[in-house]
Chain A
Amino acid sequence: MATARSALTSALCYRDPKAALRWLEEAFGFELVMLIEDAEGNLAHSEMKFGDSLVMIGNEWTAQHRSPASIEGLNTQSLHVHLAESDIDAHCARARAAGAEILMEPSDQFYGDRTYRCRDLEGHFWTVGQTVRAVSREEAESATGLKIEGWI
């Protein structure tokens, strides 16, 4: 393998994957690292990078692979973007300017992250978070009443 991959990578379906590549760069700052087109100029495969991770952007390549835009906005997943350096409020403003539908404005969570949620140009759900405060397991348990295992 030519480049190191993280252990998990999502592959998303879009009706117009080339428009999605442009949108994801403009909205989220993802960078295109691989694009394959056939003789007709159709996208065959593509990968975008953000931080140390990749996401694959493809078309609706079988009858069972559909964009939310083709199935009344339904999703079976949401993708999470975790910011290491950039400011999350500025990130949200950038996504909004690119046309993201902001479903939840940036707000501080009990577990120490500040997050927002949005829907992209074809209806995929994205959450974006940034750790702004260290929270202990005890503090998180008392804040929520939940029993928590595996807290790092």
Chain B
Amino acid sequence: MNEQEKPFKHPSFYPGDAVETEHPFSLYISCWILLFVLSAFSYMVDLMEVQGYLRWFLVTIFAFLKAGLVVGVFMHMAWERMAFLYAITLPPLFLLALVGILAVDGAFVYYIRDLFMSLTGS
């Protein structure tokens, strides 16, 4: 598309020829190294046999940091417009509601099973 045919000035109206989507390899390589380091940290949690809440906290934190790097840098979400960013990243948050409901329900089922299975001795 030549310059005369472009009614809009903002480059994000023309994603195909947007210059800001080009990044140097060094950016991806640093992101790659960071992902390795974070993976190594999660692996260390298992090797050092960290248990309980600290284990769950660390494993979750490292997973979400890695997810942020992959979505933000590798999938270029960091450079998209906010309308697109929120349309894609907000809906999956509904899964938190599912997790919350299932956690309450799961705890109740466990309580019932514990109660009756200990009575029947199985």
Decide whether A and B are members of one complex: no
